[in-house]
Each structure stands twice: as structure tokens, then as C-alpha cells.
């Protein structure tokens, strides 16, 4: 959101908050269940959820002259036609994710949803007939079902192996039912409601309310499905349970989920991959509530956190649209998903932020709704503004005080680079033990990488598409991330419950100068007796881009510290000798993820500023590491102890500091040069860091000196301390540190 837009939006929120204090009070009250809803169910005009009956005339007209809307309606028609041609198939549930019955039931809710849309828009009866007949088949089948034969763990489903999938099914299907409601006879409605919807709602709220009352994205799908079913069936209590838990006391349910699962900046603790997934039921159910129970002012809850969350989610995608693969994430996932269609359209409808039109254009489709039509019209009228990915700090935690995530960006468009620094909470069951790690993107490539999750989604032959054993043994472990590992053990001993108790701390950030962006965070709980503190600074010097990384480890006793950097590319050169494993190689360790790393080469006791240049596509990167006699550099590749070829072969450089108490890792990642394969011209293929020095490493500040080959000297003072209030500027001339050379960095703490 642009700054001015943001201010206007905040003002609007403020006005609403002043005008509607009763509602706000109501939402913060514990007695939700007494909330007023005066509507009589018999009067509900269908459709009522997202697409409203009153919007239909305008939509039918809009399809004729708004290309994006027409394209989207055509796409719905194509999906529906294909499904109608294939015939109605409602198999008895049998297969796990990726298997036939799983995929067929997925296809069914999607095709019913689209067929209902086409019916609404065109009035062509065959589409309503298709939805009706399929719903009647489900109405016959559902009461006969027990729990799914392939169920795993808590929250099983009946139609699918996971209750989560059943909830998704309900979210789509109830919209389809809403869409053909008027087409059905009383008897048909009665059959479908009593045998299907009442039973599935009972399953979620009575038989297995594990998911429903959970403050978790699985819970959101369940409450959205049940809550929307309540609206369509005219059963207010169902919707109230969705809002405030089956106990109707606000101890669970949608309102608590909104409040607890998003930080004030709209960060979602599981990370962008699951935020993308979770955003759909949040935004859809909220929109349905806004249409049907506007007095709840659901979008104003927590200062408009739902729409903020959509904007933050887009910021969590790289310039090419791929989401940053934090925690359990499929790396190929990008903005191009159905979830983002709903999220961007509804948010655009609410905020009018024209940068969203850029994302909507990329998606190439809009919702069949008033919001979708508005977006299509403004895109046609060339009202789109480019979506700007900028340097952002997204605070984590219910109150924004439990660490966070920072994206330091530089450059524009396809060539934009981004350093993503993670100091969030654990992120529940899908979190990784990766505190204070960073990843780096440049020219659309992930250059310093995160593995993401070890999983082949929906590929049946890879353990049914589930998370693989290597997800736990490798992907979650600390050594799989670009952060310090102490004594070859993961943070919190890889114990999720323990990790959930603590969070890293933001120390300070300053993004005012685009040529010098700085962020610092600390963590005192990951390893007993050890305080970790990392300060990342993106600086531009003489047109070159550097990411300066100071990683301090404070420890009274001695330990071994490993700081890995996983890189994407081919090693071009080093300024030090190493011993390469030639005709045999071994795994580097036997547990905590180390068992998956092959040792490819080793440089013991480097005792110098060690530089490694690698190349990805047309671009060069040099990682320079300040080493001493205790520093070994290990080159690794992934894939040891991987009996089923589950892991991707990826390369890493592991900086190993042997038997040290407190230690500061100083590294600089430089992006430089390019290779033009057409004209066969290479420019700046060598890095420019000549030498790194840690001039001083006191408790209050560290002083780093970077000498470049062109004679430039960069002196950098970084203040630190556990209490942010005590952080203060290192001034020139103070602290027996004399500033030299033609470049200075002076980092103030700013609020």
C-alpha cells in the first residue's frame, strides 16, 4: 500500500471506529453469543454469501464489456463444461492425497462451484442440474461414511483423509448450493440440507470438534465452512459457533483466530506458504459476514488486520511472484493461486488500493462478484498502478512484540534483490528451527537459499504427498538454514513445544536510507547459556551491493559453532586452498540434519579473509568470510542418508568455528558482474572485498572494517545490547575508533 493510500485507509478505519464504537465494543466483549441478528431466515435472498443476488444484473451486463470478467466467466464455464462432460462421479472415499478419490472429490467441489457461478450468470439450467444431481449423490453417500480409511493423526476427514480437506470441500460446496438454492424444490433442499450439510456440520461441531475450535488455519477452514453454511441455511447459531467456538464463549472461533493468528502487521506465524493457504477462508468468510452481518464490522477487527494481512502476504513474494519458502513451504508456490484471486479482489473492493490491480492483472482472472467486476472495470480503464515491493518489517506475535521478519530490498522490477531476515516465533507445527537465518534473492533467483519443506505435494508415490521423513530429519533442523548451529544441535533441541515458549527480539531497524538499510535481532533461548545476535546491513558502495552480516555469539563456556550458507550456483573461484574429496566422500555427521550433508571439500584453519565466488545464471556473487586459526570452511552437498532420493542436491558452505566461547562471525555477500552469453562479454566477475577486520568486538558495540580492492575502506560501527533502549549511536572519534578512508557508516537507532 502506498504511503498516502495507507494514511487515507487508516483515517477511514479511525472514522469507522469512532462512528461504530458499539460494534467494536461488541467484538471485544466476551458475551459474543448474544450478538443481535434480527434477520429472519425465510427472507434470505439467494445467493447471499459472496456473490449477492442484487449484484447479478450488473454482473450480467459487465461480462459483455469487461475483458477480464468475461475471461473469468469463460474459465468457469470451461471448468463446468469439462465436469459435465465427464459425468458425475462421487466415489466412496478410499485414497490419500494425490490418489483417485482424493483428486475426484477435489475436482467435484471446484466444478460445482464454477457450475453454480455459470448458472447465476447465464440462467442456463444444465449447470444447476449438474450441481443439484451431484449434491444429491453426496446427500446419499455422506450419511454412510465413517472416518476416511487413510486418515492420519488428529483431525481426520470423511470425504478426504484429512478433515481439513472436508472443510475446504464445504467452503466451496456451500457457495455452489447457495448459487442454485432458488432452482431447487423444497424436497430437494430438505434432502440436501438434512442428509449432507447438517451431517457435515455435525461432524465438525460435535463428532470431531478438534479442528473447529482450534486457533489454527485448519480451524479457519472449518469455521468458514460451518459459518457460511449457517448463513445459507438461516441458522444463526451455526454462524455464532463459527464466530465464537462451539462453546459460544470466544475461546475459539473466527474472531479469536483473526486476533491471535495475525500480528498487527498482518504477519501469520506459520509463514507465507500457509498464510497464502489460510487467507482464503479468512477473507471469504469475512466477506460473507460483511454481506450478511455487517454490524460485526469484521474487516475493522484489530485495526483492519485482514486486509493488512493480504498486503503483507504479497510483500512476502519475490519480484517473480514466488513466495519466500519459509518454514514448511513448497518452493514453486507463487501468487498465481486461486487463493490470491479471492484475497486481492475482496481487499481491492474494500480498500481501492490500485496497486492490487497489478497483481490481479498478473493473475489473469477475477472473482465473479461485485469486487471482481470493479477490479475488471478499473483494469480496463488503465487505472492500474505497479505493485511496489519495498523494504518492510513485519512484526510477529499477537501484539507485534514477538520478533518478526524483515525484507531489505534494493533495485526495481525483475532485477530487484531482497534479503529476507527471519526472527519470528516458531510458527506452530509447520515452523523450522531457523531463528536469525536469512535468505537472499537477486535477479529473480534465490541465491542464498532455504530448503523449504521435504515434500512432493499430491504426488502419491512420494508417501502419498505427505511431509516426508526428511522434512523432520533435514528441512526443519537448524543446520538446514543459514544461521548459527551450536555444537551440531538444533535450536531448542528441535523441540517445538519448547520453542513455542520463546521468541527472538527485534533490536533495531533503520530503512530510511535506501543505500544503507539495517536490521538487528537477538535470541537468548535457542541454546541454553548462549545469546545470538545478528545484524544485517545492505549497503551500496560505488555502485556495488553488499550485504554485511555480523553474527555475534555470546557464551561463557566453549562450544563449536557452525554457520552454513546454502547457495544456488556454481563455484567459480576461491582465494584460499581447499582439499577436495576426490574419489570417495562421507557424510559430515550422524544426527540433527548433519547426516544428510556430504563433505565435498574442506579448508582447515583458514586464518584470512576467505572469499568464495559463485555464479548463478548470468550473475556473480562473492561471499567473504573473516576467518581465524579456529575457522574451518567446509563445502557440502545435500543427499547423504537419503534412501529414497527424496532430497534435492543442493550446495553449501559451512563456516565452522571450533571450540570458542564468544565469537563474532563477520561475512559480506557481494552481488556483482554479469555474463552476456549472446555477446560473450563478462563484466566484473571478481568480487571487490579485499579484507575484513573486526576492529573491536565489545559488549556495547562492534566495529568492522571492510577494505575493497579499489582502496575504499568502509568502517562500520554497530551498537548492540539486549535492551533496545540502551542501543546508541557509535560516533566518529569515540570508542578509540578512528574513522579512516572515504566512506563512513554511522548507524543510529531510530524509532
Catalytically annotated residues: 274, 430
Q: 605 to each of 631, 649, 658, how far by Cα in Å?
A: 5, 27, 9
Q: In this chain, which of 583, 659, 736, 751 binds its own copies, going by CB under 8 A?
A: 583
CB of 651 to its own copies, least distance (A): 8
Rounded to a whole number of angstroms, the CA Rg of the chain reads 28
Q: Per CB under 8 A, does 570 bind its own copies?
A: yes
Helices 272-292 and 163-180 pack at an angle, to 10 degrees, of 30
3-state secondary structure of 214: coil
Q: d(Cα 443, Cα 415) in Å, to the nearest integer?
A: 4
3-state secondary structure of 725: helix
Q: Per CB under 8 A, does 573 bind its own copies?
A: yes
Q: In this chain, which of 587, 695, 697, 713 binds its own copies, going by CB under 8 A?
A: 587
CB of 645 to its own copies, least distance (A): 4
Q: Cα torsion at 541, 715, 724, 275 (round to 10°)?
A: 30
Q: In this chain, which of 89, 462, 616, 690 binds its own copies, going by CB under 8 A?
A: 462
Q: Per CB under 8 A, does 674 bind its own copies?
A: no
Q: Per CB under 8 A, does 557 bind its own copies?
A: no
Q: Per CB under 8 A, does 456 bind its own copies?
A: yes
Q: d(Cα 140, Cα 135) in Å, to the nearest integer?
A: 9
Helices 100-122 and 67-86 pack at an angle, to 10 degrees, of 130
Q: In this chain, which of 144, 146, 543, 645 binds its own copies, going by CB under 8 A?
A: 645
List the interface residues with its own copies, window 298-337 (CB under 8 A). 330, 332-334, 336-337
Q: Per CB under 8 A, does 694 bind its own copies?
A: no
**At 247, phi and psi to the nearest 5?**
-80, -5
DSSP secondary structure letter of residue 729: P
CB of 585 to its own copies, least distance (A): 6
CB of 80 to its own copies, least distance (A): 15
Residue 112 or 666: the one with the smaller Cβ distance to its own copies is 112
Question: Which of the ranges 34-42, 99-107, 227-235, 510-518 carries the binding residues for its own copies, by CB under 8 A?
Answer: 99-107
Residue 227 or 465: the one with the smaller Cβ distance to its own copies is 465
Closest C-alpha to 471, from 439, 434, 432, 436: 432
Q: d(Cα 276, Cα 341) in Å, to the nearest integer?
A: 11
Question: Which of the ranges 239-247, 394-402, 636-644, 653-661 carries the binding residues for its own copies, by CB under 8 A?
Answer: 636-644
Question: Which of the ranges 23-31, 180-188, 438-446, 632-640 carries the binding residues for its own copies, by CB under 8 A?
Answer: 632-640
List the interface residues with its own copies, window 592-621 (CB under 8 A). 595, 598, 600-601, 613, 615
Which single residue is written with the C-alpha cell 544461521? 483
Q: Per CB under 8 A, does 393 bind its own copies?
A: no
Question: Which of the ranges 203-211, 223-231, 533-541, 645-653 carries the binding residues for its own copies, by CB under 8 A?
Answer: 645-653
Q: Per CB under 8 A, does 103 bind its own copies?
A: yes
Question: Which of the ranges 5-13, 48-56, 509-517, 586-594 carries the binding residues for its own copies, by CB under 8 A?
Answer: 586-594
CB of 277 to its own copies, least distance (A): 9
Q: Per CB under 8 A, does 188 bind its own copies?
A: no
Residue 495 near residue 524 (C-beta atoms within 8 A): no
Closest C-alpha to 254, from 284, 228, 294, 224: 224
- State the CB neighbour count (10 A cutoff) for residue 437: 24
Q: Which residues of 301-315 are buried (b: 16+ CB within 10 A; e: fewer)?
A: bbebbbbbbbbbbbb
Q: d(Cα 520, Cα 513) in Å, to the nearest integer?
A: 16
- Which stretches of the chain bind its own copies, using CB under 8 A? 98, 103, 106-107, 110, 330, 332-334, 336-338, 456-462, 465, 570-573, 580, 582-587, 590, 595, 598, 600-601, 613, 615, 635, 637, 639-645, 648-649, 651, 675, 677-683, 685-686
Amino acid at each position: 500500500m502506498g504511503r498516502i493510500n495507507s494514511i487515507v485507509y487508516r483515517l477511514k478505519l479511525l472514522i469507522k471506529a469512532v462512528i461504530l464504537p458499539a460494534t467494536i465494543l461488541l467484538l471485544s466483549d466476551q458475551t459474543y453469543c448474544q450478538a443481535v441478528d434480527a434477520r429472519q431466515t425465510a427472507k434470505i435472498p439467494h445467493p447471499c454469501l459472496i456473490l449477492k443476488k442484487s449484484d447479478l444484473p450488473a454482473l450480467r451486463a459487465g461480462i459483455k464489456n469487461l475483458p477480464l470478467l468475461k475471461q473469468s466467466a469463460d474459465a468457469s464455464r470451461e471448468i463446468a463444461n469439462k465436469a459435465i462432460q465427464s459425468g458425475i462421479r462421487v466415489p466412496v472415499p478410499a485414497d490419500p492425497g494425490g490418489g483417485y478419490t482424493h483428486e475426484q472429490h477435489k475436482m467435484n467441489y471446484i466444478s460445482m462451484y464454477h457450475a453454480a457461478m455459470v448458472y447465476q450468470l447465464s440462467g442456463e439450467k444444465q449447470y444447476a442440474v449438474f450441481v443439484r444431481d451431484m449434491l444429491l449423490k453426496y446427500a446419499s453417500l455422506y450419511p454412510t461414511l465413517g472416518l476416511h480409511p487413510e486418515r492420519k493423526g488428529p483431525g481426520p476427514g470423511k470425504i478426504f483423509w484429512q478433515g481439513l480437506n472436508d472443510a475446504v470441500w464445504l467452503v466451496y460446496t456451500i457457495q455452489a448450493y447457495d448459487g442454485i438454492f432458488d432452482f431447487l424444490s423444497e424436497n430437494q433442499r430438505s434432502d440436501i440440507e438434512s442428509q449432507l450439510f447438517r451431517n457435515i456440520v455435525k461432524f465438525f461441531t460435535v463428532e470431531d470438534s478438534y479442528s473447529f475450535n482450534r486457533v489454527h488455519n485448519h480451524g479457519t477452514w472449518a469455521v468458514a465452512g460451518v459459518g457460511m453454511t449457517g448463513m445459507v441455511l438461516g441458522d444463526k447459531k451455526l454462524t455464532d459457533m463459527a464466530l465464537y467456538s462451539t462453546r459460544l464463549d470466544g475461546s475459539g472461533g473466527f474472531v479469536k483466530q483473526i486476533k491471535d493468528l495475525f500480528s498487527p502487521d498482518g504477519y501469520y506465524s506459520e509463514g507465507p506458504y500457509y498464510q497464502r493457504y489460510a487467507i482464503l477462508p479468512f477473507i471469504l468468510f469475512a466477506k460473507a459476514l460483511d454481506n450478511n452481518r455487517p454490524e460485526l464490522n469484521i474487516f475493522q477487527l484489530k485495526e483492519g488486520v485482514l486486509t493488512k494481512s493480504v498486503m503483507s502476504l504479497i510483500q512476502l513474494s519475490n519480484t517473480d511472484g514466488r513466495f519466500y519458502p519459509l518454514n514448511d513451504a513448497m518452493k514453486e508456490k507463487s501468487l498465481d493461486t486461486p487463493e490470491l484471486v479471492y484475497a486481492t479482489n475482496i481487499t481491492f473492493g474494500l480498500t481501492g488500493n490500485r496497486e492490487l490491480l497489478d497483481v490481479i492483472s498478473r493473475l489473469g482472472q477475477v472473482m465473479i462478484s461485485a469486487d471482481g467486476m470493479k477490479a475488471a472495470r478499473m483494469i480496463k480503464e488503465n487505472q492500474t498502478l505497479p505493485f511496489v515491493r519495498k523494504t518492510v518489517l513485519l512484526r510477529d506475535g499477537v501484539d507485534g512484540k514477538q520478533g518478526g521478519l524483515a525484507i531489505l530490498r534494493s533495485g526495481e522490477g525483475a532485477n530487484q534483490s531482497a534479503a529476507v531476515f527471519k526472527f519470528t516465533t516458531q510458527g506452530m507445527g509447520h515452523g523450522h528451527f531457523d531463528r536469525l537465518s536469512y535468505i537472499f534473492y537477486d535477479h529473480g533467483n534465490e541465491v542464498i537459499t532455504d530448503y523449504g519443506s521435504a515434500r512432493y505435494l499430491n504426488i502419491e508415490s512420494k508417501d502419498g504427498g505427505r511431509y516426508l521423513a526428511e522434512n523432520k530429519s533435514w528441512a526443519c533442523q537448524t543446520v538446514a538454514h543459514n544461521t548459527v548451529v551450536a555444537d551440531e544441535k538444533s535450536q531448542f533441541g528441535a523441540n517445538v513445544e519448547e520453542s513455542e515458549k520463546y521468541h527472538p527480539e527485534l533490536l533495531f531497524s533503520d530503512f530510511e536510507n535506501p543505500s544503507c538499510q539495517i536490521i538487528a535481532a537477538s535470541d537468548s533461548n535457542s541454546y541454553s547459556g548462549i545469546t545470538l545476535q545478528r545484524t544485517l546491513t545492505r549497503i551500496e558502495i560505488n555502485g556495488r551491493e553488499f550485504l554485511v552480516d555480523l553474527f555475534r555469539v555470546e557464551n561463557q563456556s566453549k562450544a563449536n559453532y557452525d554457520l552454513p550458507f546454502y547457495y544456488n550456483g556454481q563455484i567459480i573461484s576461491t582465494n584460499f586452498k581447499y582439499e577436495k574429496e576426490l574419489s570417495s566422500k562421507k557424510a559430515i555427521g550422524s544426527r540433527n540434519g548433519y547426516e544428510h550433508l556430504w563433505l565435498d571439500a574442506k579448508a582447515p584453519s583458514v586464518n584470512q579473509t576467505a572469499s568464495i565466488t559463485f555464479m548463478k545464471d548470468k550473475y556473480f556473487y562473492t561471499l567473504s568470510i573473516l576467518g581465524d586459526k579456529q575457522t574451518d570452511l567446509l563445502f557440502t552437498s545435500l543427499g547423504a542418508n537419503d534412501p529414497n532420493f527424496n532430497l534435492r542436491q543442493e550446495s553449501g558452505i559451512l563456516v565452522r568455528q571450533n571450540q570458542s566461547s564468544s565469537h563474532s562471525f563477520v561475512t559480506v555477500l557481494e552481488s556483482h558482474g554479469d555474463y552476456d552469453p549472446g555477446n560473450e562479454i563478462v563484466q566484473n566477475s571478481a568480487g571487490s572485498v579485499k579484507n575484513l577486520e573486526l576492529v573491536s568486538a565489545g559488549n556495547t558495540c562492534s566495529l568492522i572494517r571492510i577494505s575493497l580492492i579499489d582502496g575504499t575502506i568502509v568502517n562500520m560501527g554497530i551498537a548492540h545490547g539486549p535492551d533496545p533502549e540502551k542501543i546508541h549511536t557509535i560516533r566518529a572519534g569515540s570508542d578509540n575508533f578512528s574513522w579512516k578512508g572515504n566512506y563512513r557508516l554511522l548507524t543510529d537507532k531510530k524509532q
